[in-house]
Chains A and B, each alone.
Chain A
Amino acid sequence: MFPMLRQILRTGIVSEAPPAADEDLRVVAQRLSDAVARQLGRALVIRHIDAGSCNGCELEIHALGNPYYNLEALGIKFAASPRHADLLLVTGPVAKNMEVAVKRAYDATPEPKLVVAVGDCGCTGGIFGESYASCGRVANVIPVDVAVPGCPPTPLQLMQGILAAIAPGKADRAAKG
């Protein structure tokens, strides 16, 4: 137990890390936190759906939970079921084999719902494009509110994308800095 406590104390709170390097992050995090409080007045619940990604985008979505980005502290939670979600975060081109599952998850998400398509694949089909096995971009299968390019997008870009979805006007300003 003691080594663990010592480690926790020594590590401190890294989400308040060097302000110079993380100024963009601090600004986006603040705006995101404000937007969640204003637009929802409660936590924003996200359901992630891998529609056929290479798993690169998943690694960066995972990173959102690390102490640097600390999404939970901004009032954003990942849910296990689309039924509890406000927002679907969809990665990959939609594999033909996932088409039915993606549509079902979308239908199961209660209104009003937001969809953020993640990565070059989610935006355009990316390097995999459209074929017998790939439906291409997420918008070909379900309605999309915001698409976040990048291969994969960085955690910061993902946060900006989520912000753009929940507070469209604010996000434009945020993007301009």
Chain B
Amino acid sequence: MQILEQSIVFEPLPGHASPTWAARVDAQALRAFCAAVHAAERRLVALWGSDERDRDAQLGFALHAAFDLAEGLVCLTLPLSTENPEFPDLSLPFPAAERMQRAVRDTIGARPDAGDQRPWLRHANWPADYYPLRRDTPEVNGSRYAASNEDYAFVRVEGDGVHEIAVGPIHAGIIEPGHFRFSAMGESVLRLEERLGWTHKGIERRFVGMALAEGAKLAGRVSGDTTVAYAWAYSQAAEAISGAMPPPRALWLRALLLERERIANHLGDLGYLGNDVALSFGLMQFMRLREDWIRLNAQVFGHRLLMDRIVPGGVAVDLDAAGAQALLAQGRTIRHEVRKLKAIYDEHAGLQDRFLTTGRVTAQLAKRLGVIGLVGRASAQWWDLRCDHPCAPYDQLAPRISTERNGDVAARVLVRFAEIAEALRLIETIISEMPAGNIRSEVRSSADRRGYGWIEGWRGDVLVALETGHDGKIRRGHCHDPSWQNWPALEHAAIDNIVPDFPLINKSFNLSYSGQDL
């Protein structure tokens, strides 16, 4: 099969929840393919590296790139030489590739032939030649290395009256750690540079050697607020490897959990966005609704955040008639309450004044940067896996995509409101039309197989790529968070805004630190 009229011959990968294609390429073909993807206005999903030296002399190291094309998920593998593992810089067509390339360099020691060469996940806390994802890298305890404060080469803005403001890694609120370096003129932001990687805790190395069934728990903790999406994506990948088919009822329950996760996060965000413009009324109301929502999660599914409910082969909990009634009743209440709160947000002049035009990412900029997910949809980027490549049961639910054009805080708020309404509708349909039957089938690992899982989480699409070794254990597990694509856009969104508006803009993106730090 050919894609985008390129000479590459793609193989369909069997057993995937939505169409998935793979091929091995050389550097030239990869470059040409990227140009074609860009020209077709499609996008790069993820980029990661692996060490194949112990398995395939031909491969050495490998660079993997996954793309979202009309045909489905398309995965290319570029073999890299053992002596000089260098790969083409892909950041020109896909700006978001830059940090992923730096992470590839930090983790397996293969580098892009151009572009930013600064470390990303590695701060100066372990040796530069300790590559955690090389197969022959020994396990060490971090206490062996002295922790230090790295001297990171931030880009400086020169000029009369330009001053720098450094924030983090520990922030003032209850949020994850990251470092933001503002260059400001008076109150106005000229430039923002992010330095992330603080919560890098070695997740991908942790996957190595895990049993296929075991890895779901770890994937579900890449970003706790997205645990359902990761567990589902992981399970899809594991099921593709094992050839297991989750029962239809399990798929419907997964969608129910995913939509409940989406609503829980949107409710929290809408509260905090109100709070950031001094409307603590909004915070308290939405936090109350969120608490009601996740308490019912605990009651019906056994976990407030729905961790470990999705497992390879199906789901861990079923829904009984009483549970279904409780969920439906709650859905009606929440719809009614959110509608009232939306009217209040809509009419609140002070709030609208702070939301409108703040932190703007124009549609044009969003397209150039490859912004995705919720933030992308608020800037007229029509990406939503549930609509573009619907896996079951979304293929029967006809979900409606929610988009806005303005790309400001207000637009991101509106998309959240619209997505809550749509998710409530989906939940009703799911509960009333869910097929009966088993909720779990057996998953047996299979040696030397690859599997991919791809799910539209509340922030955007998460990808899990898995590969098993000779022993059927996980050989390489890569988890990709949509925050990789959207963090660079936040740097742009802050420009020309005042520094005190940054927390509001940041909250309106609400990106994951842990999800991209891994």
Q: Is A55's CB under 8 angstroms from B149's CB?
A: no
Residues 210-226 of B, flagged 1 when their CB comes within 8 A of A and 0 if not, give: 00000001100111110
Please name the residue on chain A nearest to B147 by beta carbon: A99
Q: Is B141 an interface residue (CB 8 A)?
A: yes
Q: Which residues of A contact B145 (CB under 8 A)?
A: 96, 132
Interface-facing stretch out of B323-331, B338-346, B370-378: B338-346
Q: Which residues of A contact B123 (CB under 8 A)?
A: 97
- Contacts of A112-164 to chain B: CB distance below 8 A: 126-135, 140, 151-152, 154
Complex CA gap A95/B123 in Å reads 11
Contact of B147 among A11, A80, A100, A130 (CB under 8 A): A100
CB of A65, distance to nearest CB on chain B (Å): 7
With A49-B170, A67-B288 in contact, is A92–B199 under 8 Å at CB?
A: yes
CB of A7, distance to nearest CB on chain B (Å): 6
Q: Is A8's CB under 8 angstroms from B199's CB?
A: no
- Contacts of B157-184 to chain A: CB distance below 8 A: 169-170, 172-177
Please name the residue on chain B nearest to A49 by beta carbon: B170
Count class of interface residues, chain A: 35 or more
- Contacts of B472-518 to chain A: CB distance below 8 A: 512-514, 517
Q: Which residues of A contact B217 (CB under 8 A)?
A: 127
Count class of interface residues, chain B: 35 or more
Q: Is A3 an interface residue (CB 8 A)?
A: yes
Contact of B174 among A78, A126, A130, A151 (CB under 8 A): A78
With A55-B176, A55-B225 in contact, is A128–B202 under 8 Å at CB?
A: yes
- Contacts of B118-176 to chain A: CB distance below 8 A: 123, 125-126, 130, 132, 139-143, 145, 147-149, 169-170, 172-176
Complex CA gap A99/B126 in Å reads 12
Contact of A127 among B130, B218, B284 (CB under 8 A): B218
CB of B312, distance to nearest CB on chain A (Å): 16
Complex CA gap A63/B304 in Å reads 11
Complex CA gap A65/B145 in Å reads 38
Q: Is B451 an interface residue (CB 8 A)?
A: no
Q: Is A65's CB under 8 angstroms from B287's CB?
A: yes
Interface residues of B, dominant DSSP: loop
- Contacts of B337-383 to chain A: CB distance below 8 A: 340-341, 343-344, 347-348
Q: Is B112 an interface residue (CB 8 A)?
A: no
Q: Is A128's CB under 8 angstroms from B268's CB?
A: no
Q: Is A3's CB under 8 angstroms from B169's CB?
A: no
Q: Is A14's CB under 8 angstroms from B305's CB?
A: no
Please count the residue pairs between chain A and chain B whose beta carbons lie under 8 angstroms apart in the complex.
Answer: 176
Complex CA gap A98/B141 in Å reads 15
Q: Which residues of A contact B281 (CB under 8 A)?
A: 4, 7-8
Complex CA gap A19/B79 in Å reads 64
Complex CA gap A131/B133 in Å reads 12
Complex CA gap A126/B169 in Å reads 22
Q: Is B512's CB under 8 angstroms from A132's CB?
A: no
Q: Is B200 an interface residue (CB 8 A)?
A: yes
CB of B172, distance to nearest CB on chain A (Å): 4
Q: Is B340's CB under 8 angstroms from A7's CB?
A: yes
Q: Is B126's CB under 8 angstroms from A54's CB?
A: no
Contact of B142 among A11, A48, A80, A131 (CB under 8 A): A131
CB of B344, distance to nearest CB on chain A (Å): 5
Q: Is B305's CB under 8 angstroms from A152's CB?
A: yes
Q: Is B203 an interface residue (CB 8 A)?
A: yes
CB of A50, distance to nearest CB on chain B (Å): 5
Complex CA gap A78/B8 in Å reads 57
Q: Is A57's CB under 8 angstroms from B224's CB?
A: yes
Q: Is A98's CB under 8 angstroms from B305's CB?
A: no
Q: Which residues of B contact A34 (CB under 8 A)?
A: none
Complex CA gap A63/B268 in Å reads 9
Q: Is B170's CB under 8 angstroms from A135's CB?
A: no
Q: Is A56 an interface residue (CB 8 A)?
A: yes
Most buried by A among B123, B224, B340, B512: B224
With A3-B340, A59-B224, A62-B174 in contact, is A97–B287 under 8 Å at CB?
A: no
With A53-B199, A97-B197, A134-B202 in contact, is A127–B125 under 8 Å at CB?
A: no
Contact of B201 among A52, A55, A67, A151 (CB under 8 A): A52
CB of A69, distance to nearest CB on chain B (Å): 8
Q: When A and B form their complex, which 6 residue pairs have the shortest distance between CB atoms, in order from nearest? A: A56-B224, A133-B202, A80-B172, A66-B287, A99-B147, A54-B224
10 pairs across A/B with beta carbons < 8 Å? A7-B344, A78-B174, A81-B172, A96-B142, A96-B145, A97-B200, A98-B177, A101-B170, A101-B177, A132-B139
Q: A56-B305, A95-B201, A135-B142 are in contact. List 6 more A-B contacts (CB 8 A).
A: A56-B307, A62-B174, A66-B284, A99-B125, A131-B206, A154-B298
